[in-house]
Amino acid sequence: MRLLLRVLAPLIALLLAVAGLALVVETVTAWVAPSSSPLVVPWPAWRTAIEGLTWQSGSVRAVAIVVGVVGLFLLITGLVSRRHDVYLADPVPEVTVTTSPRSLARAVGHEVRSHDDVVSASVVASSSKITVKAATLDPAEEVRAALRDRVTEMLVRLPLARRPRVAVSVTTTKGVK
């Protein structure tokens, strides 16, 4: 979402600037030299097009709905594009340490996969929650407890500012050990 914001923001800014410039240019043209108006934007044609419309007209409603959807999209883009850094406890004042959710998930994934009974595993991490899904050939419950211990112990070693909740789910797959 941050990439989308990064792309959208200059475009919207450009659009605003162009709209403002067009408004000024057309107003001044209509004022100073009415004979050459409209200069760029064909606003008299727009005016005749919407002349007969009332607020109840279908096309007005359609345009309003489209504008609303675009607005909602911008609103949501602006609201959700925050950073998802995982903060570590500060070693010293004036120093902030962060890591990425992906990097945290990778570290947890290495730890989980290093367990002998785990066949495959996937990890999703954020600063508040770590979700581990693993597959094993052994009874799931024992491996689950072992994995939970491993991840918890690893989080003790890693000085995160806020200890995330750990959710481990293990499934038993068929296969030859």
Partner 1 sequence: MSRRSRAAVARSAGRDRTLTTLLGLVLVAASVLALLVGYGVFGAYRATRPLIDPIAVSWVSTHVSATRWILIGVGVLLFLVGLWWLLRTLRPEPRPDVSLSELPGERLTVEHAAICDAVRHDAEAIDGVSRARVRLVGTPQKPALRIALTLVEGTDVRDVWADLDGRVLARAREAFAVSALPTAVRLELDATSAPTPARVE
* Span 17-36, contacts to partner 1 by CB under 8 A: 17-25, 27-28, 31
* Number of neighbouring beta carbons within 10 Å of residue 22: 15
Q: Which two tokens stand for residue 148?
A: 């939970």
Total residues at interface with partner 1 (CB under 8 A): 74
Task: Give the DSSP H/E element, type plus range, for residue 170.
Answer: strand 165-172
Burial category of 45 from C-beta neighbours within 10 Å (exposed 0-12, middle 13-18, buried 19 and up): exposed
Write down the least CB distance from residue 120 to partner 1, Å: 18
Q: Which of residues 52-111 bind partner 1 (CB under 8 A)?
A: 52-57, 60-61, 63-65, 67-68, 70-79, 81-83, 85, 87-88, 90-100, 103-104, 106-107, 110
Please state the closest distance from residue 105 (CB atom) to partner 1, in A. Answer: 9
Site for partner 1 in 112-141 (CB under 8 A): none
Query: CA angle at residue 40 from 34 to 45, to 5 degrees?
Result: 75
